[in-house]
Amino acid sequence: MSLNPIMLGVRFLLELVAVVSFGILGWRAFDSPWRFLLVVMLPIAVAAVWGSFAVPGDPSRNGEATVAVPGTVRLGLEVLVLGGGACALWGAGLSGAAAVSAVVLVVYQALAYDRIGWLLAH
């Protein structure tokens, strides 16, 4: 189910929203000149971590891993980054967007049970 094109599209949108959400948090949570740095650096840092750690042979990715990790570590990273995106929106004062992001994430994870099983087995 998780390799369905619609599910892959939803996953991609969740990833984009999560990365952008950290930039929004950096902009809205800080009034100092730091906001100009954080709005750029937070999304870059999150995207770098997101793209670096992977499970070798992951069918939802290209199969290659810059830093190979077990499936449980990758699942934890996904929860932290994607769930962290919803938390970042909440912290930025965008509770409605945070709720929508969280609901979509929970529904996606429930429908992608096969991916979760694969990650836990690898």
The residue range of the domain holding 100 is 5-121
**C-alpha count within 13 angstroms, C-beta hemisphere, residue 37:** 3
Q: What is the pLDDT of residue 54?
A: 87
Identify the CA nearest to 61 among candidates 44, 42, 78, 79: 78
pLDDT tens track of the chain, all 122 residues? 667 889 999 999 999 999 999 999 999 998 888 899 999 999 999 999 998 898 888 877 776 778 889 999 999 999 999 999 999 999 999 999 999 999 999 999 999 999 899 899 98
pLDDT at 61: 74
Reference 38, options 68, 46, 75, 9; nearest CA is 46
Query: How many domains does the chain divide into?
Result: 1
At 34 the pLDDT is 87
